[in-house]
Amino acid sequence: MTLFRAKYIYHDIYEITGAALERRGILLLLADLDNTLVPYGVPLPDEKLKAWRDDLTAHGVTLFILSNNRHESRPRLFAQGLDVPYIGHAGKPKSPSFHKAMERLGVTREQTAIVGDQIFTDVLGGNRAGVSTILVEPIRLAGNPGRYLRYAAEWPFRLLSGRGAKL
């Protein structure tokens, strides 16, 4: 049951500050792309997202996109636009991509967190890899009936996650 519970829960990524991550000793923030950083289909980062990345960087935190997107160009082009490292087709919730990202950046599990909008990929994968898990609300559900079903199945685990626990 605890594998499906996030340690921290926020409305969106913008509630997560570089200062808060720095206080917790987090040097690497893995981030899901679609419905976490931007809505599905948004091709490039906007200025607000770049400013958030800059806040993380100013506090010694590297943002790293960890996306399950099967189209290699999607996470690559977005990560290039944001000037951050990435792994596409990450295979979350399996943990090898988490370990690969930590190895690339030379950080430990204790220095790593993941932020994502899905329990069964982002949170489960992060917990399996032994990193701190941060759950955010999905940006937009519209457009795909399967998303409604997936989020409905996740609802009990969202209720059990770390609401009120702040970084």
Per-residue pLDDT tens digits for 59-84: 999 999 999 998 889 999 999 999 99
| Dihedral pair phi/psi, residue 166, rounded to 5° | -110, 150
pLDDT of residue 161: 73
Distances (CA, A) of 25 to 20, 97, 109: 9, 21, 11
Which amino acid makes up residue 112?
T
Per-residue pLDDT tens digits for 83-139: 999 999 999 999 999 999 999 999 999 999 999 999 999 999 999 999 999 999 999
Task: Decide if domain 2-160 falls under CATH 3.40.50.1000.
Answer: yes
The count of other CB atoms within 10 Å of the CB of residue 137 is 15
For the chain, which residues make up each domain, given as ranges? 2-160
> What pTM was estimated for this model as a whole?
0.91
